[in-house]
A and B are shown apart, each in its own frame.
Chain A
Amino acid sequence: MKKFALAGNPNCGKTTLFNNLTGSTAHVGNWPGVTVDKREGVYKKCAELVSIVDLPGIYSLSPYTPEEVIARNYISDDKPDCVINIVDATNLERNLYLTTQVLEMDVPMVIALNMMDAVEKNGDKIDARELEKRLGVPVVKISALRSQGLSELMDKAYNESKKQRFGITVLEESNIAHLIADVKTALTGEDVSNPLFHAVKLVEGDEIEVDMHKEVLGVVEAFKKTFKDDIFGTDFEALIADARYKYISEHFAPVFERKTKEKFKMTKSDKADRVLTHKIWGIPIFILILFAIFHLTFSEDFLFLGSIFGLPSLVDLGMADPITEEPLTYGAKWLSVVYNGGVMSPGVMINNLWNDIMVGELFGWIQGLVEQSNMSDWAVGLINNGIIDGVGSVLSFLPPILVLFLFFSILEDSGYMARIAFILDRMFRRFGLSGRAFMPMIMGFGCSVPAMINTRTLADEKERTATVRVIPFFSCGAKLPILTAIAGAMVVAFGAGNADLITFAMYILGIVVAILSVLFMRSTTLKGETPPFIMELPAYHAPQFKNLMLHLWDKTKHFIKKAFTVILASTIVIWLLTHFSFSWKLLEDEQVNESIIANIATLLQPLFTPLGFGSQLGEYGWVFVVAAIAGLIAKENVIGTFATLAVCLSAVGGLDFGSLVLDAADGVDAVRAMITATGITGPALIAFIAFNMTTIPCFAAVGTAKGELQNKKRFNFTLLFWLVSSYIVGAAVYTIGSWWWTCFIWIAVLAGIVTFVVLRNKKLAKKEALL
């Protein structure tokens, strides 16, 4: 099978083309650095099957970051049958810089002029035939997004793959042409493949090449000593880059005919950026957008209409029970989907529709069937209270997760996400990170695993380590059920404001903890220079419906798969542990305090007393310990565990559940049952969320962190860091929430630590200066 490699600058549309050619659904994002490793797919429409390899984006074949090394090594060492060089036609000159380097390799190649639709929309023209003549390789106009020109591109690539091609260089006209020719001759003598490419890189002083060709290094250095440029001196890298750009400007740029003669005309994106990336307004606008997203997803009082106009609730209208607040008629139930004292936000409407009408009815019907069967009580309990309530409570959060990620995908696809990295760079720089580190962090809102893998785009190892450590603080999709269920329960149980405000505040808390942690690490164990940040801001464009749906489909697929495997297995195990004693006796629901799990968790309970969910919660307080431990397997387990335990606790005599009509398959009800059974306070619940948000993440994320950190000591320290930071954050939230004046103690402790670090660093700097 032939192998074609897709190479090009970051964000030029390689993955979009890859998905179109292979029918894959790889993640596409409108920001540079989405792809961090090569991926393969098969194109079936040529005369024979063709393996397509999507490479990470690179600006040059002199790599700096790990993912750039992957792209370069693949083209240079794996010898694909053809390289399809994707060129962003809207940025022709800059993209051709990489082309001039690929041309130097002895590999067949085809240029794909992508985004031609955007060029034509701007009224500009590119003479592809002329460019083809000047480059000496086929040039095909395409639009990967609209699937235009792809067959022609693949046919040309297939034809080229049958031919042999030798590298050519645009440096022939430069003053170092003879130097390159001499080195090439020396390399050819050593039987090195791609001699021209390696010769140019050796002259540049490329670190990888210098390590690879030590045998000819002496000769190369001797050649280089005979040369000196008037402008660049012996800075060969700068000299070659300048020569390439000059050549591109003189020979290739003329094929681009602009509609307007003004070269630097402000585009719509530029105009939008004047506001969205403003040095003062940029961050407030970002926070406002983030709040709007949470409001649209979680608010039960959309646009605060209920609060502003004092709209009546269903109880006020006589349509719901005054004690339980349950709708009295089926019509009222439907009305409660969209209105109850306030208009529901779109996210809540979908959530209500899913939970009250669809899943609620379905699960209720199944549970009814199980109860009517002849199965024994324990089997009915296991199916209804263990499996259905446990999994149902997790599935009940699918709608808000999807709505939230739809908004995040829109931000990503539109190009705004890349701007956030840009506007945060100024702030991050003060904390020792570049804005580039923000991209993997924001990916952490989806899942920590790909986010940690994406840290490969960071060249500095210490910056990578710090970023990997704080990624779990960016609350992932799996933690959303914890946030939503507890926030919802707090609103009902304590009348605590709005669920959207609580959820939003917890996300912000995660970001603040991440920033403080980075600041601490970069001032102590991971000290180092903040790397420079250069990022190409992609043009804004309307999000692609297909991309958005693919993102959501990925999320749904994974969530449902996880619910019916890991979560289901966990709920079964938890049900067993709550229904068996150490003497292997089957227990009734109300005997839950004698269960294996209760006995073990009670031993650990005092450890969580400073966080508000320890010994002070009394005999049933162990439920929070069990949930937190179950969350280490998968964070969704926290609510699944509450649901399983809620049924047991509801059977315990002496516990007054008041107005709560328990539907354990509803995560909010499950948490309300925990509040009633344990008497946990609001601050302790917030501390519980904060602890779960910042503690050791799920098994999958821990495994990935281990792989990405590539150092056992560093990994062990990372585990300890997560444990300690979550404990401190939980304790701070609980104590400040319970006794506001303790904030002065925490501020004093923080000030003490900062002073100690600053003084220590000054002392160390003095010592270093003396040495």
Chain B
Amino acid sequence: MTSLLCASLGAGEIVLIIACSALVLGVIVAAIVRRIKGKPSCDCGECCGLCEHCNASKKNK
């Protein structure tokens, strides 16, 4: 078994780690932000922007 730290970390590996971390964190942060805003992520053809608990709806109300 090899420890990650012992593994050779070239430029490619570093870019990969940064890109993957950024993607995973980005998705989590986006999900949290959407949750705070009350927007579900669905394929409802933009009509989700009008759902009960989203910003657009609150603004209109």
Contact with A along B1-43 (1 / 0, CB 8 A): 1111001111011001000100110111011000100101111
Contact yes or no, B50 A569, CB < 8 A:
no
B24 contacts which chain A residues (CB < 8 A)? 569, 572-573
Chain B proximity of A63: nearest CB distance (Å): 16
Which of A374, A382, A588, A700 meets B20, CB within 8 Å?
Answer: A382
How distant is the Cα of A701 from the Cα of B13 in the complex, in angstroms? 36
Within A17-42, the residues touching B (CB, 8 Å) are 24-27, 35-39
The count of residues in chain A whose C-beta lies closer than 8 Å to any C-beta of chain B is 54
Nearest A residue to B14, CB-CB: A379
B43 contacts which chain A residues (CB < 8 A)? 446-447, 449-450, 477, 554-555, 557-559
Classify chain B's interface size: 35 or more
B10 contacts which chain A residues (CB < 8 A)? 374-376
Within A545-585, the residues touching B (CB, 8 Å) are 550-551, 554-555, 557-559, 562, 565-566, 568-569, 572-573, 580-581, 584-585
A373 at interface (Cβ–Cβ under 8 A)? Answer: yes
A707 at interface (Cβ–Cβ under 8 A)? Answer: yes
How distant is the Cα of A35 from the Cα of B45 in the complex, in angstroms? 11
B41 contacts which chain A residues (CB < 8 A)? 562, 566, 700
B48 contacts which chain A residues (CB < 8 A)? 449-450, 453
Contact yes or no, B31 A37, CB < 8 A:
no
A704 contacts which chain B residues (CB < 8 A)? 40, 42, 51
Nearest B residue to A556, CB-CB: B43
A166 contacts which chain B residues (CB < 8 A)? none
Tell whether A572 pairs with B12 under 8 Å between CB atoms, given A449-B48, A450-B44, A555-B43. Answer: no
A586 at interface (Cβ–Cβ under 8 A)? Answer: yes
How distant is the Cα of A708 from the Cα of B13 in the complex, in angstroms? 45
Name the prevailing secondary structure of the A interface residues.
helix
Chain B proximity of A437: nearest CB distance (Å): 18
Tell whether A700 pairs with B42 under 8 Å between CB atoms, given A38-B50, A708-B52. Answer: yes
Q: Can you sample 18 A-B contacts with CB below 8 Å?
A: A39-B50, A375-B12, A375-B13, A376-B7, A378-B7, A379-B13, A383-B16, A447-B44, A449-B44, A453-B44, A453-B48, A555-B43, A565-B27, A568-B23, A569-B26, A585-B1, A587-B1, A707-B52
Chain B proximity of A448: nearest CB distance (Å): 8
Contact yes or no, A25 B46, CB < 8 A:
yes
How distant is the Cα of A158 from the Cα of B52 in the complex, in angstroms? 31
A710 at interface (Cβ–Cβ under 8 A)? Answer: yes
A557 contacts which chain B residues (CB < 8 A)? 43
From B13, B23, B50, B57, name the one whose CB has the most chain A CB atoms within 10 angstroms. Answer: B50
A699 at interface (Cβ–Cβ under 8 A)? Answer: yes
How distant is the Cα of A568 from the Cα of B22 in the complex, in angstroms? 12
